[in-house]
Structure 1
């Protein structure tokens, strides 16, 4: 992954980290990604949330429409990844209280 982190990616990270307003964040997503990419990315976050709450794969598949492969990939990243999903879930937990 270290090859991925270059000046352009750093600039994108700065922009994402600097956005504090959800409407601005939505506009950014809408401009940067296709509708399909936004749906797939948000689906993965929902899968991570459900995995973290102990839901079984079958229930997650039924609720989200995610494939078993996607669920397994998210599970692997959630448990052995760099911590991005954990941080995202912590943010969601704080903002939904």
Structure 2
């Protein structure tokens, strides 16, 4: 399925309108299934650990997830749009992971 660009942009505007964590929680709870939330939370945790320089196998062991998921996250960090790195930097030390 191809999503119309205007629909995608509208969704981006929706997320940009979030003003605080409570609003983010309300939207995420309504827009995603519990499984989708779990998947996104897992992705964020593995990205933070990889960005901190933690070895892929250690991340997989810590989070109890497959190395293929870790490898995909690593590819996103290396070749993606830079969104994850941007937000890790933007959020500051609150999201820095100890190795």
**TM-score normalized with structure 1 length:** 0.85
Map of 2:33 onto structure 1: 34
Encode CA deviations 1:37-94: one digit per residue, 9 max, x unaligned: 1111111111111111111122111221221111111100101111111112123326
Deviation at 1:33, TM superposition (A): 0.6
With a CA cutoff of 8 Å and minimum separation of 6, indicate the structure with the bigger relative contact order. 2
Distance 1:92 1:40 in 2: 21
Per the alignment, do residues 91 and 65 of structure 1 end up closer, same or farther by CA in structure 2, a change over 3 Å counting?
farther
Local SS of the residue matching 1:46: helix
**TM-score normalized with structure 2 length:** 0.84
Q: What is the RMSD computed on CA atoms of the aligned residues?
A: 1.8
Unaligned runs of 5+ in 2: none
Unaligned runs of 5+ in 1: none
> How many residues of Structure 1 are paired with residues of Structure 2 in the alignment?
94
Local SS of the residue matching 1:69: helix
Structure 1 segments, 4+ long, off by >2 Å, are none
